[in-house]
Amino acid sequence: MSESDIVIVHAPLTNSTFHLINRSSLALMKPGGLLINVSRGGIVDTDAVVEALQTGQLSGAALDVLEMEPDVPEALLSSGGAMLTPHVAFSSDASSLNCAGAQLRRWFVC
């Protein structure tokens, strides 16, 4: 983490990955780094991210998932460096058609 300008989290949420990204790990990053979480909310300690944004340790955090969904902490909303998106890429029209097509192909395969 100390060599990265951007850290992207792709991991399952397990007992060993809960709060994997926390105050200690964020302190290892270069000041002004960017954190992106597209895996599971519990992997990232939201309070630590808010603190890192407020101190400038992070210049931004792009969070596709949150620790306590659907609740968004006011401190995160007002931090100015957070970009929050819904974790719903699977629900696009294209993916719905693709999934439906896959189901149909399974039914008609001999």
What DSSP state is assigned to residue 85?
A: -
C-alpha dihedral (3, 11, 70, 80), degrees to nearest 10: 10
The residue from 23, 67, 69, 74 that is catalytic is: 69
Active site residue 87: yes
Contact 79, 104 (CB under 8 A): no
The residue from 51, 87, 105, 106 that is catalytic is: 87
The residue from 23, 40, 67, 106 that is catalytic is: 40
Active site residue 19: no
Q: Rounded to the nearest 5°, which phi and psi values hold at 70?
A: -90, 5
- How many Å apart are CA 14 and CA 20, to the nearest integer? 10
Show which residues are catalytic: 40, 69, 87
